[in-house]
Amino acid sequence: MPEFMDIHRGMVGITAEGLKEAHTADLAIQGEEGVNFKQAWADPESGLVYCLSEADSTDAVQRIHERAGHPFDEIHPVPLKV
Amino acid sequence: MPEFMDIHRGMVGITAEGLKEAHTADLAIQGEEGVNFKQAWADPESGLVYCLSEADSTDAVQRIHERAGHPFDEIHPVPLKV
């Protein structure tokens, strides 16, 4: 299944607990769009959050993130990995 | 050890082989700055490449990427992970 990396900006001050809550909110509904969120990384200082997922399309990832309350600013497929 | 995510833009058309070559060039010298490149993802269409690394500082990652011939456009620590 295709993999995607999406970026959220403006999450300045995000905590470990806040990241976990956001991720859990995604996981709770991801199956409805066939998405699998694999990992997320965050930088409280710059407010950047990166999410790596597997899905059929960027739209599926977008729908889950939006429904969970944290739409991304940028998303791209990452068909190559090393 | 702190983890970092850096982003390279403008790598439009990058191939699996090109990504592997770039990654190998990093790995060959990363020990000299105490960096450990853990994973890289690329999108040939948008030209985006993401690299996840462990290092003492952003400067250490920058020095390796520059010496290997592919300076990044953006780098941030990612102290939070889920």
Give the max Cα distance, chain B.
33
**Cβ contacts of residue B76 below 8 Å, gap of 6+?**
A43, A45, A46, A48, B4, B5, B6, B58
Does the domain at residues A3-77 carry the CATH identifier 3.30.70.3090? yes
Q: For B6-65, what is each residue's pLDDT tens digit?
A: 999 999 999 999 999 999 999 999 999 999 999 999 999 999 999 999 999 999 999 999
List the domain boundaries for chain B. Answer: 3-77
* Per-residue pLDDT tens over the stretch B5-15: 999 999 999 99
Of B58, B8, B55, the residue nearest B30 (C-alpha): B55
The pTM of this model reads 0.94
Residues of B in contact with A48 (CB under 8 A): 5, 76, 78
Interface predicted TM-score of the whole assembly (ipTM), two decimals: 0.93
CB contact under 8 A, A77 and B20: no
- Provide the shortest C-alpha distance from residue A57 to chain B (in Å): 14
